[in-house]
Amino acid sequence: MKIDILLFNKPYRVLSQFTDKQNEAPADVKLRQTLADFIQQPKFYPAGRLDFLSEGLMVLTDNGALQQRICSPEQKMEKSYWVQVEGCPSKEVLQQLANGIELSDGLTKRAKIQRLKQAPPLWQREPQLAQHRELNSQWLNISISEGRNRQIRRMFACVEHPVLRLVRHKIGNWHLSDLEPGQYKKITVNLPKNISKKW
């Protein structure tokens, strides 16, 4: 079964939805940017969210079954992130994160986590981090198969290494590739007839 999807690189400080609920606020309240500022493709909706301060890959689809397949925690579709954290987590801390962290909504599932030798090849974010924070930081790659609200930020907060920058670069087999912030591309994917099954 062939389906068109959109791969979008969500910029920093952009809502991962098409409207801002602040649009009901007084006229002097500045509205935040939304997907509608970048994407004009009727009937395509995001499969999952990415928080306001996070960047990177989003998948949009007009297929409800695929949307459910990507979002459902039961389906365990893996998502990978580059994470810049304050300080340098020890091996013990990284193992603790990999094994699972107790959050307010329960224990997280096992994660894959690796320390990166250098920063990933990313665009410059505005505003930039202060130099002293940049120097006292560590880049990691983390892959998880669940998507709780602000999960990665909460995980690292629990081990006292706050997230400074968070960029999702992979969802399932789809990659961020060379998309610049605010850019999207439409691709046609060939999926099994029963999308709900693992593939």
- Cα–Cα distance measured from residue 175 to residue 56, given in angstroms and rounded to the nearest whole number: 10
Q: Which residue from 81, 62, 66, 95 is spatially nearest to 146, judged by alpha carbons?
A: 81
- Cα–Cα distance measured from residue 8 to residue 58, given in angstroms and rounded to the nearest whole number: 5
Q: Is 51 a catalytic residue?
A: yes
**The two structure tokens encoding residue 191:** 């999926």
Whether the link from the prior residue into 127 is cis, omega within 30° of 0, is: yes
- Cα–Cα distance measured from residue 62 to residue 51, given in angstroms and rounded to the nearest whole number: 21
| Catalytic position from the list 37, 51, 62, 178 | 51
C-alpha distances in Å from residue 35, one per residue of 18, 52, 73, 118:
5, 11, 24, 31
- Cα–Cα distance measured from residue 171 to residue 19, given in angstroms and rounded to the nearest whole number: 24
Report, as residue numbers or ranges, the catalytic residues. 51
